[in-house]
């Protein structure tokens, strides 16, 4: 589904810094639709400072007095809430939520609903939602900052959408792992230098060489790196008596 | 591995609110070890207010003047940084980082290193790290708030630990990754030998050493391997005229 069709709904927020921080998080994670239900603070300088440039999200926010109004056009409404409530509502993990959203139709509209800083969502507000999503946390200290909770969910959803990452810059040929023949050429050269310097026992070079192979093979040496390593060996050989 | 053995290292932070928010995030996600390197602000009322009760993490923080000091005992050092740098350092996604940490030994010590609010980490700081971790984000607006970035990584790691299968057979001590101080000792030794053999230009050792750092840091050298590599260097030095 499209991230623009997922609303972040903040109910009764009391701190303008959290609203601004939420706008920044949303912009970082490619969300754009912020809805404030009955905010308890002005959206001014503090909010814009914490938004760090995500002004458009604050400017274009939707304002509602009631949660019902905010979610009216949404076919899936998910409440972000702590676990172990008196209300046994169906519960998703953030990953399950992201899986679910990824499989939804492009035209679907979804609301993720976040409650008040100190008291969360009321039971009757949760009962307007299809499901709850619960962020795993320290059972002794489980209350996340509001913008942090929005960060975790937006990150999970954004990174799920992007699991097939756009093709990055292709590495140059010399930055690709070298073919085995070149790596073996390096090992032969290394063994020669270590024998002539007296480090390897000519009768038993095996165990040390095996460990060195393990180290360098694990690194998946590039052609460039092979060139540097062989250059080093050549310089050392020339410098030997 | 144990979450208590993962240090969150904040380098040159300028906003006490971010340091307090980081402490809250850490407590939410069961992390406890906060290290501040050269902080540019007082850790007072603002920090404690944003910590929202995670005071013990601020009280017990470690203070260092240099990053090298902060990471000296860590066998894996990961820099949180933006993608597309001039420095092509090996890069993990947050999920890959969490997978990697989950499979590590209980006694391993790890540092996750976060840079300055406006300028991130310096290239020479990244070059002290084994790998980079990059949080996927909107390419047009990719700079996350510092505490938000810490939230995403701590969340990924915490939630992975909870999904993790029991650890397999533990490796022997000498097969564990070496601490950063030992790896740095190897780099100094290597540079000395490459200078005396004439391979490195004494006026410009930088670029070659940077590529060698990248290769060896990527491999996460064990103590055993460091011993072998330094033994090689010592033999070569003795054999030089």
55-84 of A, contacting B, C-beta below 8 A: none
Each of the 241 residues of chain A gets a pLDDT tens digit; together they read 889 999 999 999 999 999 999 999 999 999 999 999 999 999 999 999 999 999 999 999 999 999 999 998 888 899 998 765 666 778 899 999 999 998 888 888 899 999 999 999 998 898 888 889 999 999 999 999 999 999 999 999 999 987 644 444 456 667 777 778 888 899 999 999 999 999 998 888 888 888 898 888 878 888 899 999 999 999 999 988 7
Torsion region of B52: left, alpha or beta (phi above 0 gives left; psi -120 to 50 gives alpha): left
Mean local confidence (pLDDT), B201-205? 87
Is some CB atom of chain B closer than 8 A to the CB atom of A101? no
Is some CB atom of chain A closer than 8 A to the CB atom of B14? no
Quick one: CA dihedral B8, B11, B78, B17, positive or negative?
A: positive
Confidence of residue B84 (pLDDT cuts 50, 70, 90): low
Asked whether the predicted pLDDT for residue B70 surpasses 60, the reply is: yes
Please answer yes or no on whether A219 and B221 come within 8 Å at the CB atom. Answer: no
Q: For residue B167, what pLDDT is reported?
A: 47
Q: For residue A240, what pLDDT is reported?
A: 80
Q: For residue B170, what pLDDT is reported?
A: 56
Q: Quick one: which of B105, B88, B33, B123 has its CA closest to A175?
A: B88
Select from A20, A53, A199 the residue whose CB has the most chain B CBs within 10 Å, as the one to mutate to test that interface: A199
Range list of H helices, chain B: 16-28, 45-51, 55-59, 67-71, 94-102, 123-126, 146-163, 180-196, 206-219, 223-239
Burial class (CB in 10 A: 0-12, 13-18, 19+), B221: buried
Q: Nearest CB to B54: which of A25, A141, A165?
A: A141
Task: Count A/B contacts: CB-CB distance under 8 Å.
Answer: 145
Asked whether the predicted pLDDT for residue B106 surpasses 80, the reply is: yes
A contacts of B178 (beta carbons < 8 Å): none
Can you tell me whether residue B178 is helix, strand or coil?
Answer: coil
Whole-angstrom distance, CA of residue A48 vs CA of residue B134: 26
Can you tell me whether residue B199 is helix, strand or coil?
Answer: coil
Asked whether the predicted pLDDT for residue B197 surpasses 80, the reply is: yes
Is some CB atom of chain A closer than 8 A to the CB atom of B142? yes
* pTM for this model (two decimals): 0.83
CB atoms < 10 A from the CB of B173, how many? 11
Q: Residues B224, B175: contact at Cβ < 8 Å?
A: yes
**% of chain B beyond a pLDDT of 90:** 72
Whole-angstrom distance, CA of residue B167 vs CA of residue B48: 37
* Token pair in block for residue B38: 């050269």
DSSP per residue over A101-149, as a string? Answer: HHTS-TT--EEEEE-BTTTB--HHHHTTSSEEE-----TTS----HHHH
Asked whether the predicted pLDDT for residue B166 surpasses 60, the reply is: no
Asked whether the predicted pLDDT for residue B165 surpasses 60, the reply is: no
B contacts of A159 (beta carbons < 8 Å): 93-95, 136
What is chain A's Cα-based Rg?
28
Q: For residue B171, what pLDDT is reported?
A: 62
Q: Which residue has the tokens 């404030």?
A: A36
Q: For residue A166, what pLDDT is reported?
A: 43
Q: Quick one: which of B54, B60, B48 has its CA closest to B29?
A: B54
Asked whether the predicted pLDDT for residue B83 surpasses 80, the reply is: no
Whole-angstrom distance, CA of residue B86 vs CA of residue B83: 9
Q: Residues B229, A199: contact at Cβ < 8 Å?
A: no
Q: Residues A116, A177: contact at Cβ < 8 Å?
A: no
Comparing alpha-carbon positions, the chain B residue that sits nearest to A155 is: B152
Q: Nearest CB to B232: which of A137, A165, A199?
A: A199
Q: For residue A165, what pLDDT is reported?
A: 45
Whole-angstrom distance, CA of residue A152 vs CA of residue A10: 15
3-class SS string, B115-148: CECCCECCHHHHCCCCEEECCCCCCCCCCCCHHH
148-187 of B, contacting A, C-beta below 8 A: 148, 151-152, 155, 158-159, 162
* CA-based nearest distance B122→chain A, Å: 22
Phi, psi of A76 (to 5 degrees): -135, 125
Crossing angle between the packed helical segments B146-163 and A16-28, to the nearest 10 degrees = 70
* CA-based nearest distance B109→chain A, Å: 21
Whole-angstrom distance, CA of residue A118 vs CA of residue A104: 32
Please answer yes or no on whether A135 and B155 come within 8 Å at the CB atom. Answer: yes
Whole-angstrom distance, CA of residue A140 vs CA of residue A83: 12
Is some CB atom of chain B closer than 8 A to the CB atom of A138? yes
Mean local confidence (pLDDT), B121-125? 91
Q: Nearest CB to B137: which of A29, A137, A194?
A: A29
Query: Looking at residue B177, what DSSP letter applies?
Result: B
* CA-based nearest distance B34→chain A, Å: 17
Q: For residue A85, what pLDDT is reported?
A: 60
Is some CB atom of chain B closer than 8 A to the CB atom of A20? no
């Amino acid at each position: 589904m499209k991230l623009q069709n997922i609303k972040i709904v903040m109910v009764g927020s009391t701190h303008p810094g959290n609203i601004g921080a939420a706008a920044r998080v949303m912009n970082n994670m490619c969300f754009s639709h912020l809805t404030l239900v009955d905010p308890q603070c002005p959206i001014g300088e503090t909010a814009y400072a914490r938004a760090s440039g995500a002004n458009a999200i604050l400017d274009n926010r939707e304002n509602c007095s009631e949660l019902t109004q905010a979610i009216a056009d949404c076919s899936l409404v998910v409440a972000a809430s702590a676990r172990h409530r008196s209300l046994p509502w169906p519960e998703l993990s953030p990953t399950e939520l992201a899986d679910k959203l990824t499989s939804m139709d492009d035209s679907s509209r979804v609301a993720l609903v976040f409650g008040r800083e100190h008291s969360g969502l009321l039971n009757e507000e949760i009962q307007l939602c299809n499901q709850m999503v619960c962020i795993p946390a320290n059972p002794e200290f489980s209350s996340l900052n509001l913008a942090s909770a929005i960060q975790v969910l937006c990150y999970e959803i954004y990174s799920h959408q992007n699991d097939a990452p756009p093709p990055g810059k292709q590495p140059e040929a010399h930055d690709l792992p070298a073919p085995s023949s070149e790596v073996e050429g390096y090992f032969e050269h290394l063994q020669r230098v270590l024998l002539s310097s007296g480090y390897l026992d000519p009768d038993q070079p095996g165990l040390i060489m095996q460990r060195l192979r393990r180290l360098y093979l694990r690194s998946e040496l590039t052609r460039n790196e092979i060139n540097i390593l062989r250059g080093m060996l050549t310089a050392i050989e020339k410098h030997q008596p």
